[in-house]
Structure 1
Amino acid sequence: MAWKGNSISPTLLFTTGLLVLSAFNYGFSDQAFSSGQAMDSFARQFGVYHPKTDTWKVKPLFTSLFNSLKAGGQLIGVFIGGYVSNTYGRRMCVFSMNVYALGSAAVLISSTTVAQIQAGRVLHYVYLGMQLAVIPTALTELAPAQVRGGICVLYWLSIKVGGLVVTSIARGTSSIQTDAAWRIPFGLILVVPSIVLSLIWFTPESPRWLLLRDRHAEALESLVRLRPKDASKEQTEADFQDLSDKVAVQLQKKQFRDLFTRQNRRRTFIVVACNFFQQATGQAFASQYGTLFVKQLKSINPFSVTLGINAIDIGAICVSALSIDKVGRRALFHVSSSFQTIALMTMGGLGTADSSDMDAKKGIVAMLMLFSFSWSLGWAPLVYVLGAELPASPLREKTLQIAYTVKLVTEFAVTFSYPYLETADTPHHVYLGGKLGFIYGSLSAVAFVFGWFFIPETRRLELEDIDKKFVLPKEGVVALETAADKEVNIEERTTE
């Protein structure tokens, strides 16, 4: 939705803020679980006592299942969220998932057995899967083209801020010797859903969603609410007609098989591959097991490191949000992949040092932090931006369901396998330590090559105009817009 001028309506600010607040609870929940499992009181509640060492430890199988089965719950949530969002609207999906969140969080807070805590986390990730299905899409549909990248990056920024807040809380409660140490962070998960539920019906529905359902009068009303107060009636109606015409062209693309037509299969491949590489380069290892990984090294306070990583990530995302609509998506992807590869390969090299070398351990922690910064600069937020931008509007939910399935299966593989690579005192397990960097670093290098050859530039283009980048000429070759043509088109649109 393009408009002249620099002002943004209070309604758009309010709607964007509420969606971003909902995303805050994604990071808050995720890091509450990550930090909670590293607490001694958590191990006493759900672990096994070892008389020889007089310690409580959770079994590696519990750790694997606790951090990987959630992917199944999240995948279910993606499909449920996609169906509700597509059938009943973005607002209804946000409303229903937050109602559900109150129940799933209650299960977690009251957990006393291994089965209950495992089931509680799986159930809660249905809610987070629904978030994944609706929040990036809603933000993309509502944002003006000239600032769409920055607004969509706010999704990941909010997730990281949520993680930073709960990590700070967990660092403070970790010294408590009772179950309150982890129950307090878990209990605070209830706050955001309560706020979102009370405010969501004050926001307008997505005009694009309404147009795709042939509800033109409601779409116009919604667009008027989202426009700045200084926008003229004539300009609003002209923009609405332009949007209606573009959406009408896409209405014929509705079937699942349309994802793989000659015009759409390239964009489907790009979105799916981006989601694969986002997880295959090891982010789940860093985010889900970062605290445990540092704890195994026995070098630096793991909660302090996790707190530092979240703060660094927020800085990287702020840089991404401020630069994405200026330098473009491709440049950030390339820089992100380059530094990820350097950090992970260096971590692998340091992992070959003697296990008693404290400087090497500190170096591994430093490379973990550099990796997390690099990932948050590009691959973390921009995959969601491209995932919402590239598919044709009627096919967006279907494309993202396939892409998120690949993403979550890959995340499952990383999270399930990690404990078996970090528990040397268990039969048939190995201890790789920092050498894990060689595995993820190699995949990061492949991700760089993929990004260089396949990821297109979409900055400042309206969603419907992105279709032009995938137009098929008679010869059947995808005609991508050249950089010169792109800049000319941008200038024409901004000077009309």
Structure 2
Amino acid sequence: MASQKKEFSSVLLFSTALLALSAFNYGLSDQAFSSCQAMDSFIRQFGKYDASTDAWAIPALYTSMYNSIKAAGQIVGVFIGGYVSNTWGRRMCIFTMSIYALGSASVIISATTQAQLQSGRALHYIYLGMQLAVIPTFLAELAPAKNRGGMGVIYWLSIKAGGLFITGVARATKKMTTDAAWRIPFGLILVIPFVVLCLVWFIPESPRWYLLRDRHSESLESLIRLKPKNSSEEQIHQDFEILSAKVAEQLQKKSFKDLFNRQNRQRTFVVAAANFFQQATGQAFASQYGTLFVKQLKSVNPFSVTLGTNAVDIGAIIITASLIDVVGRRALFHTSSIFQTISLMTMGGLGTADSSNLDAKKGIVAMLLIFSFSWSLGWAPLVYVLGTELPSSPLREMTLQIAYTVKLITEFAVTFTYPYMETADTPHHVDIGGRLGFIYGSLSAVAFVFGWFCIPETRRLEIEDLDRQLALDGKFEDIEESKQFERATVKEVSN
């Protein structure tokens, strides 16, 4: 235990906490948009009155656009965030996106029409796309190798914690008859960006970012700040020389075509495909439409179910954070896929029951919770860990831009199509309901096969060691080779 404590300094803990706080606002924003759309006051403000049913409703096209247009904004944000992060540093990206978030959130809070709400949400997701581009990478670059998995999972844990918090707020405000019911959750989006932009310059820049730009003195200064105060000067300089030796091999300029050369094409494929399967198994349906889906079933309180979903997600992520650096990435990916497939296929089977069968509806809700738990146990957090570990450092931003574009296009497809499969009362719509589980469950089974044959084990490997591991034939080899390289590098530096 004593040796583990030496890995963390107060500055590293503060930096991790601030990055986690920024990620918290991702979950807060995302679930605020998701939960509020089921509120009666929200539907009255942005929906249409149907005289035949004497009820207010939001047309399926509006619902589709509301939940899927975010993908376009987020893709733009990923590219902007990658550019700013790569050119001016991780801290500058976080500072810039936090200022931007204050403006985009203000547009949403003041919205009175569908057009203003839709455009505001699309603009806000540029901020969330920038988060996606910088926070997981920053966490991975700051983390010690043997704790990198656990620190990477913190990103998703913070997102789900933000979702749980705002869902609780929405559950409390939903009974309000005024627009305050949804304006209060949206208004809370403003708080965290203001805090983050005030504190971000108190954390050090990534030492790796400095080294990749041949700024050695600044890199050493950052590394010293991140090390515990009781670390010896000799040990710090030895660690710096080892890191410098590994990064030095990557200083050559890389171009887009290098993503597909012999050394990198397998990594590019695995990261992009993992992001596809993360979304193709239906998580966007569960997270964006979970409240609406349960409301349509008319079986249990939809806000209570959404709260429960976020709570079990957090439980799963805590388990993952505890195990990822012990059992490795692959075991968690495989376990996640198996339970996702079982829960989704069971949901599909229950969806074939008569629509008046209340027990079947409750079973569908239970399977939705199990699916969400299973997804958060592996595919939800580990895809971000994989995305920061596998790419070559000079190519990381470009690799993630491709991977996140795949992810967001897939998410768009899932979120846009769901409203048209929700009700048969509207022309050209189909009433699939719980049978959606058959579609997503089949894709989850394919994800298991992909993970088994394609995802490598990267536990306890330094980020730079993967380049040495892939240098000869571009394939993932025995992890022991990288450990031997680590020992050899230490020996060379010592001599």
TM-score bracket, normalised by the shorter chain, equals: over 0.9
1:163-221 CA-to-partner distances (Å, cap 9, x unmatched) read 00000000000000111100000001001011101100101100000111111110000
User: How far did residue 252 of structure 1 move?
Assistant: 1.9
Match of 1:196 in 2: 196
Match of 1:53 in 2: 53
Rounded to whole Å, the distance in 2 between the matches of 1:490 and 1:302 is 52
The answer to whether the 8 Å contact 1:299/1:358 transfers is yes
Rounded to whole Å, the distance in 2 between the matches of 1:488 and 1:265 is 25
The answer to whether the 8 Å contact 1:422/1:429 transfers is yes
User: How far did residue 423 of structure 1 move?
Assistant: 2.0
The answer to whether the 8 Å contact 1:472/1:479 transfers is no
Matched, 1:478 2:448: no
> AA paired with 2:187?
G
> AA paired with 1:478?
K
User: How far did residue 231 of structure 1 move?
Assistant: 1.0
SS at match of 1:56: strand
Rounded to whole Å, the distance in 1 between the matches of 2:425 and 2:185 is 31
Match of 1:300 in 2: 300
Match of 2:18 in 1: 18
Rounded to whole Å, the distance in 1 between the matches of 2:366 and 2:49 is 33
Rounded to whole Å, the distance in 1 between the matches of 2:490 and 2:361 is 52
Q: Within 5 Å, give how 1:230-241 maps onto structure 2.
A: 230-241=230-241
The answer to whether the 8 Å contact 2:466/2:482 transfers is no
Match of 2:136 in 1: 136
Rounded to whole Å, the distance in 1 between the matches of 2:132 and 2:437 is 28
RMSD: 1.8
SS at match of 2:356: coil
Q: TM-score, normalised by structure 2?
A: 0.96
**What stretches of structure 2 of length at least 5 have no aligned partner?**
none
User: How far did residue 487 of structure 1 move?
Assistant: 7.8
1:314-355 CA-to-partner distances (Å, cap 9, x unmatched) read 000000001000000000000000000000000000000000
**Which range moved further: 444-453 or 230-239?**
230-239
The answer to whether the 8 Å contact 1:471/1:479 transfers is no
Rounded to whole Å, the distance in 1 between the matches of 2:7 and 2:328 is 22
SS at match of 2:414: helix
> AA paired with 1:442?
S
Matched, 1:209 2:209: yes
Match of 1:222 in 2: 222
**What stretches of structure 1 of length at least 5 have no aligned partner?**
none
User: How far did residue 235 of structure 1 move?
Assistant: 1.1
For the structure 1 residues 493 and 240, does the alpha-carbon distance in structure 2 shift closer, same or farther, using more than 3 Å as the test?
Answer: closer
Q: Within 5 Å, give how 1:230-379 maps onto structure 2.
A: 230-252=230-252, 254-379=254-379
1:277-316 CA-to-partner distances (Å, cap 9, x unmatched) read 0000000000000000000000000000000000000000
Match of 1:437 in 2: 437
The answer to whether the 8 Å contact 2:47/2:57 transfers is yes
Matched, 1:43 2:40: no
User: How far did residue 239 of structure 1 move?
Assistant: 1.0
User: How far did residue 56 of structure 1 move?
Assistant: 0.4
Q: Within 5 Å, give how 1:450-489 maps onto structure 2.
A: 450-473=450-473, 478=475, 480-481=477-478
Rounded to whole Å, the distance in 2 between the matches of 1:7 and 1:447 is 35
Rounded to whole Å, the distance in 2 between the matches of 1:294 and 1:494 is 56
**Which range moved further: 245-254 or 325-334?**
245-254
User: How far did residue 251 of structure 1 move?
Assistant: 1.5
Q: TM-score, normalised by structure 1?
A: 0.96
The total of aligned residue pairs comes to 490
Rounded to whole Å, the distance in 1 between the matches of 2:124 and 2:243 is 37
Match of 2:182 in 1: 182
> AA paired with 1:481?
D
For the structure 1 residues 291 and 258, does the alpha-carbon distance in structure 2 shift closer, same or farther, using more than 3 Å as the test?
Answer: same
Rounded to whole Å, the distance in 2 between the matches of 1:273 and 1:469 is 21
User: How far did residue 470 of structure 1 move?
Assistant: 2.1
Match of 1:88 in 2: 88
User: How far did residue 491 of structure 1 move?
Assistant: 9.3
SS at match of 2:146: helix
1:454-485 CA-to-partner distances (Å, cap 9, x unmatched) read 10000111111122332324xxx725116x66
Rounded to whole Å, the distance in 2 between the matches of 1:139 and 1:463 is 12
Rounded to whole Å, the distance in 1 between the matches of 2:79 and 2:212 is 20
Rounded to whole Å, the distance in 1 between the matches of 2:241 and 2:277 is 39
> AA paired with 2:477?
L
User: How far did residue 8 of structure 1 move?
Assistant: 1.1
Rounded to whole Å, the distance in 1 between the matches of 2:5 and 2:315 is 29
**Which range moved further: 71-80 or 229-238?**
229-238
Matched, 1:420 2:417: no
